Structure 1
Amino acid sequence: MQEKKILPRRKGVVLLSVLGCLFVFFAKTEKDLASSGNILWTAGYIGSTLLWTVVLGCLLGFLGTWVVHRLWNRAQTAEDTGKKQAAWYARLSAWLQRRSGVQIFFGSLLFLLLAWLPVYLAYYPGICAYDAPVQTGQIMEHYYFDHHPIVHTLFLQGMLWLGSHIFGSVNAGMAFYTAVQMLLLSGSMAYGMLVLHHRKTAAGWQLAIQLLGMFFPFHWYMSVSMTKDTVFSAFLLLQLVSLADLLWEDRNAWRPGIRDLLFALGTVGMILFRNNGKYAMIVLLAFTFLTFCFGKKARKLWGRLLVVCGAAFCVGLFVLSAVFSATHAEQGDRREMLSMPIQQLSRCMIYHGGVSVLAEDDNTMDAADKALINDFILDEAYRDYDPGIADPVKRHTNTYVARYRSGEFIRVYLHLLTQYPGDMINAALATNAGFLSPFDTTHADVNRVEGRAGLSYVQTRWEEDTLNDRGIYKDSKWPWLFEQLESWAENNSYLRTPVLKYLFVPGSYLWLYLALAAVLVIVDRKRFCLPLAIVAGYYGTMLFGPTVQMRYVYPVMLALPYVLALVTGRRKNG
Structure 2
Amino acid sequence: MTDKLHGKNLRIWIFALLGGIVFAAFDRCGYMIQHYGTLWAISENPLHKTIFHRILIRVPLFTAGVLISFLLMNWLRGRSADSGAGLPKRESQGSTAPQTAMAKSLALCRAAQNVPAFIKYWLLYFISFLPAFLGGYPGLFAADAPNQIGWTFSGWLTAHHPLLHTGILCGIFSMTRAFGWSDNTAAALCNVLQMIILAGIFAWISCFLKRKQVPQWLWIGTVLFFCLFPFHGMMAVYTTKDTVFSGVLVLCLLQVICMCSTPEEYFKGWRHTIFAGITFSLLLLLRNNGFHTMLACVPFLLIYLWKYRKKLLVLALGLVLVYGVYNGPFLNVIGAEPGNAREMYNIVIQTLSRTYVAGGDIRPEEMDVIRPVMDEETMALYTPNLSDPVKNQFHTDAFEEEKAEFLKTWFQVGCRNKKIYIDAFLNTTLGFWYPDVEDEYLEFVCFDIQKDDPHYPHVQMEPKSEWLNRYYTAIGTDASFRQIPIVRELLSMGLYFWLLVLASLYLIYQKEYEKLLWILPLWMYLGTSLLGPAALLRYGYPLMAACPILLFTMWKKEA
* Distance in 1 separating the partners of 2:42 and 2:520: 36
* Distance in 2 separating the partners of 1:307 and 1:377: 43
SS in 2 for 1:271: helix
Question: Closer, same or farther in 2 for the Cα pair 1:8/1:314, shift >3 Å?
Answer: farther
Aligned partner of 1:186 among 199, 221, 239? 199
- Deviation for aligned residue 1:418: 1.2
Instruction: Give 1:383's aligned amino acid.
Output: A
Partner of 1:361: none
* Distance in 2 separating the partners of 1:331 and 1:309: 23
Partner of 2:355: 348
Instruction: Give 1:541's aligned amino acid.
Output: T
5+ unaligned residues in a row in structure 1: which ranges? 85-95, 294-298, 354-363, 445-455
Aligned partner of 1:112 among 96, 120, 125? 125
Structure 1 contact 164–172 (Cα < 8 Å) conserved = no
Q: Structure 1 residues 189-198 or 369-378, which shifts more? A: 369-378
Structure 2 contact 252–280 (Cα < 8 Å) conserved = yes
2:330 is the counterpart of 1:328: no
* Distance in 2 separating the partners of 1:497 and 1:42: 30
Instruction: Give 1:478's aligned amino acid.
Output: K
Instruction: Give 1:286's aligned amino acid.
Output: P
Aligned partner of 1:460 among 445, 451, 470? 445
SS in 2 for 1:466: coil
Under a length normalisation based on structure 1, what TM-score does the superposition of the two structures give?
0.83
Structure 1 contact 105–191 (Cα < 8 Å) conserved = yes
* Distance in 1 separating the partners of 2:6 and 2:168: 48
Q: Structure 1 residues 558-567 or 226-235, which shifts more? A: 558-567
* Distance in 1 separating the partners of 2:474 and 2:519: 35
Aligned partner of 1:532 among 512, 516, 519? 519
* Distance in 1 separating the partners of 2:316 and 2:446: 38
Partner of 2:148: 135
2:440 is the counterpart of 1:476: no
Partner of 1:90: none
- Deviation for aligned residue 1:340: 1.2
2:22 is the counterpart of 1:37: no
- Deviation for aligned residue 1:284: 0.9
* Distance in 2 separating the partners of 1:310 and 1:369: 41
Partner of 1:339: 346
- Which residues in structure 2 correspond to 1:355-366 (within 5 Å)? 364-366=361-363
2:374 is the counterpart of 1:377: yes
* Distance in 2 separating the partners of 1:554 and 1:494: 17
Q: Structure 1 residues 462-471 or 193-202, which shifts more? A: 462-471
* Distance in 2 separating the partners of 1:214 and 1:403: 48
2:227 is the counterpart of 1:220: no
Partner of 2:21: 21
1:191-221, Cα deviation, whole Å (9 max, x unpaired): 1111111111122322211121112111111
Structure 1 contact 239–262 (Cα < 8 Å) conserved = no
Partner of 2:481: 494
Partner of 1:451: none
- Which residues in structure 2 correspond to 1:542-557 (within 5 Å)? 542-557=529-544
Instruction: Give 2:347's aligned amino acid.
Output: M
5+ unaligned residues in a row in structure 2: which ranges? 87-108
Partner of 1:412: 409
Instruction: Give 2:153's aligned amino acid.
Output: M
Q: Structure 1 residues 30-39 or 197-206, which shifts more? A: 30-39
SS in 1 for 2:371: helix
Question: Closer, same or farther in 2 for the Cα pair 1:554/1:523, shift >3 Å?
Answer: same
Task: Give RMSD over aligned pairs.
Answer: 3.3
1:470-495, Cα deviation, whole Å (9 max, x unpaired): 45322625041334422432210221
* Distance in 2 separating the partners of 1:73 and 1:171: 51
Under a length normalisation based on structure 2, what TM-score does the superposition of the two structures give?
0.85
Partner of 1:450: none
1:255-277, Cα deviation, whole Å (9 max, x unpaired): 34544443332211110000011
Structure 1 contact 438–502 (Cα < 8 Å) conserved = yes
2:546 is the counterpart of 1:559: yes
Partner of 2:556: 569
Partner of 1:508: 495
Structure 1 contact 244–567 (Cα < 8 Å) conserved = no
Structure 1 contact 16–64 (Cα < 8 Å) conserved = yes
Instruction: Give 2:22's aligned amino acid.
Output: L
Aligned partner of 2:167 among 149, 154, 164? 154
Aligned partner of 1:396 among 377, 393, 396? 393
Question: Closer, same or farther in 2 for the Cα pair 1:58/1:239, shift >3 Å?
Answer: same
* Distance in 1 separating the partners of 2:273 and 2:228: 31
1:32-67, Cα deviation, whole Å (9 max, x unpaired): 233233344889999953355456447645763464
Instruction: Give 1:193's aligned amino acid.
Output: S
Instruction: Give 2:431's aligned amino acid.
Output: G
Structure 1 contact 144–330 (Cα < 8 Å) conserved = yes
Instruction: Give 1:32's aligned amino acid.
Output: M
Question: Closer, same or farther in 2 for the Cα pair 1:375/1:385, shift >3 Å?
Answer: same
Aligned partner of 2:157 among 139, 144, 164? 144
* Distance in 1 separating the partners of 2:445 and 2:417: 39
Partner of 1:431: 428
Structure 2 contact 122–199 (Cα < 8 Å) conserved = yes
- Deviation for aligned residue 1:334: 1.5
SS in 2 for 1:396: coil
Instruction: Give 2:451's aligned amino acid.
Output: T
Q: Structure 1 residues 46-55 or 146-155, which shifts more? A: 46-55
Structure 2 contact 17–63 (Cα < 8 Å) conserved = yes
* Distance in 2 separating the partners of 1:41 and 1:164: 57
2:308 is the counterpart of 1:308: no
Structure 1 contact 379–396 (Cα < 8 Å) conserved = no
Question: Closer, same or farther in 2 for the Cα pair 1:408/1:266, shift >3 Å?
Answer: same
Instruction: Give 2:505's aligned amino acid.
Output: A
Q: Structure 1 residues 397-406 or 230-239, which shifts more? A: 397-406
Instruction: Give 1:499's aligned amino acid.
Output: I
Instruction: Give 2:24's aligned amino acid.
Output: V
Partner of 1:266: 279
Q: Structure 1 residues 334-343 or 464-473, which shifts more? A: 464-473
Instruction: Give 1:182's aligned amino acid.
Output: M
Instruction: Give 2:512's aligned amino acid.
Output: R
Question: Closer, same or farther in 2 for the Cα pair 1:221/1:141, shift >3 Å?
Answer: same
Instruction: Give 2:212's aligned amino acid.
Output: R
SS in 2 for 1:498: coil
SS in 1 for 2:74: helix
1:489-513, Cα deviation, whole Å (9 max, x unpaired): 2210221232122221122122211
2:250 is the counterpart of 1:237: yes
Structure 1 contact 256–304 (Cα < 8 Å) conserved = no
SS in 1 for 2:436: coil
SS in 2 for 1:105: helix
Question: Closer, same or farther in 2 for the Cα pair 1:195/1:312, shift >3 Å?
Answer: farther
- Deviation for aligned residue 1:10: 3.6
Question: Closer, same or farther in 2 for the Cα pair 1:522/1:380, shift >3 Å?
Answer: same
- Which residues in structure 2 correspond to 1:280-319 (within 5 Å)? 280-292=293-305, 299-300=307-308, 304-305=311-312, 307-319=314-326
- Deviation for aligned residue 1:82: 6.1
Question: Closer, same or farther in 2 for the Cα pair 1:253/1:264, shift >3 Å?
Answer: closer
